[in-house]
Amino acid sequence: MDAQTLRQLSRQLVRQLGMLDSQCGNMDLTPVQAHALIELEANPCTVNDMAALLNVDKSNASRTLAVLSNSGLIISHPHPEDKRSQIASLTAAGQSRLAELHQRLNQQVDGFLAQMDADEIEQLGKSLERYRKAMVMAGRQQGYEIRPLTPLDNSSIAAVIRKVSAEYGLTADKGYGVADPTLDSMSEVYQPEGHAYWVIEHRHRVLGGGGIARLAGEENICELQKMYFLPELRGLGLARKLAVKALKFAREQGYRACYLETTANLTEAIALYASLGFEHTKEPMGNTGHDACEIRMVKWF
């Protein structure tokens, strides 16, 4: 699916759900007002809180709360920790109106779900959550660039790999990848056809990287290699974004599977690989040149 197709589907969903209508759930509430009531059901909010929750500007949030207040659905009082700020909460009338809204909208969605089997509903939930996370992460990744490794990056990415390896105790004497003799000349390693390595750069600093190379001893199988990220890069979804880029490259190159080796103390990495469809395998594949990594995973295309 490309961006244009997804946008078309999104427009159809928005229209089908009535989000372009002036009323939500056939009630005297706009969609923004309905969303505000739902957020206030969870916690009282200031104008700034509401703007952040609804992803709208402060003036929009302020107008929405003012209309709801004039309608008697919410009440505002001084914030206990900041007397210059007002905090809004639901009134009894607001709680009643919201309960009716929930009942109507739940009935509508139940009608949609009745058209789907249990496994389809489960898959829908997972896909929507994955898409929601992708939206959040895309916003956090502004200013970060994933680009191909160049010879000028060799020293920078080597330093990243050594630093992260030391952080997790993956020392050279134990046979981990940090001992590779080509660590300081990686741009040469990934020049052959079917190989690629990318770095993540922010403000002219290389903060991490990862790559794909043909797995020696196996036919049409590649290896996901040297995925290393400095602490300041973590939690932004960039490791996943780079891994997805690598897997797309692997498919384009005609590989039938992607193999990787890691170690048990890299729990976040293992969880990432599992979320991307990698499965554990007991037996090693090919000849990676390393014997220290006891966790082996593979994804078949």
Same domain, 188 and 293: yes
Locate 239 and state its tokens: 């490791």
Tell me: do 183 and 293 sit in the same domain.
yes
Same domain, 110 and 209: no
Q: Say if residue 171's pLDDT is above 90.
A: no
- Tally of domains within the chain: 2
Count CB neighbours of 69 within 10 A. Answer: 16
Indicate the residue among 95, 115, 135 that finishes a domain: 115
Residue 54 has pLDDT above 90, yes or no: yes
* Residue 158, domain member (yes or no): yes
Is 126 contained in some domain?
A: no
Tell me, what DSSP letter sits at residue 252? Answer: H
Q: Are 249 and 214 in contact (CB under 8 A)?
A: no
Q: Check whether residue 61 and residue 206 sit in a common domain.
A: no
Selection from 67, 147, 41 nearest residue 156 by Cα: 147
Domain assignment present for residue 134? The answer is no
Domain assignment present for residue 137? The answer is no
Residues 111 and 16 in one domain: yes
Residue 221 sits in a domain whose CATH number is 3.40.630.30
Instruction: Identify whether 169 is part of a domain.
Output: yes
Domain annotation covers residue 122: no
Distance CA 27, CA 38 (A): 14
148 and 266 inside one domain: yes
| CA–CA gap between residue 48 and residue 56 (Å, rounded) | 10
Per-residue confidence (pLDDT) for residue 283, from 0 to 100: 87
Verify that 178 and 258 share a domain, yes or no: yes
pLDDT (tens digit per residue) in 217-251: 898 999 999 999 999 999 999 999 999 999 999 99
- Is there a domain that residue 136 lies in? no
> Would you place residue 195 in the very low, low, confident or very high pLDDT band (cuts 50, 70, 90)?
very high
Q: What does the pLDDT read at residue 258?
A: 98
pTM listed for this prediction: 0.79
Range of the domain at 38: 3-115
The answer to whether residue 129 is domain-embedded is no
What is the reported pLDDT for 83?
75
